[in-house]
Amino acid sequence: MKAATIAMCLCSLAVMAGCQPSGPPPIQVEKDGLALALKLPARKFVVGDTFTVRLTAANATDKDMTMTPKTAPLAVVRLWRQVASEWVQIKQYPAASSDPAAPWTLPAGKDRALAVKVTVERDWPVREPLRLTGEIQGRKDPVAGILIQAFPTKKECSRAKVY
């Protein structure tokens, strides 16, 4: 209770001081000592928007981790649409590449930030939940994901609630 009260006070002070939260909190997942955080500037977007998906990989072990991606780039963001009872991938950012990528090492106890630019394209489904996932190439897990929505106009986007 005390911690919740302190957190609410700090948030109130930050808002009064002009600090606005910068999007939803990061989504964090961990598998076999590799933690992955996905951070977005928002959860609702307008067709034509370009935003940056920030992925931070952290090695929580006491040994270096070597990533061996089959192709460049080092991080990939995928967009999924729910069809019937399953999620179907509809986009990948950056687009698939056949360029080879060199292995890279994430030292023990260290992290590495990666950024992927995403543009809300005209063919994105609008007014429905979409799943956006981020992953590090060369590792099957972990994969961080969050639900987002796209809207055709700013007016509609500003009125919409995303849960």
Q: What is the pLDDT of residues 23-56, one digit of tens each?
A: 789 999 999 999 999 999 999 999 999 999 999 9
Pairing state of beta strands 44-46 and 143-151? parallel
CATH of 23-159, picked from 3.40.50.2300, 2.60.40.770, 3.40.50.300, 3.40.50.620, is: 2.60.40.770
DSSP count for the chain of H helices, then E strands = 2, 11
**What are the sequence ranges of the domains in the chain?**
23-159
* pLDDT confidence tier of residue 163, bands split at 50, 70 and 90: low
Segment 96-112, tens digit of pLDDT: 777 777 888 999 999 99
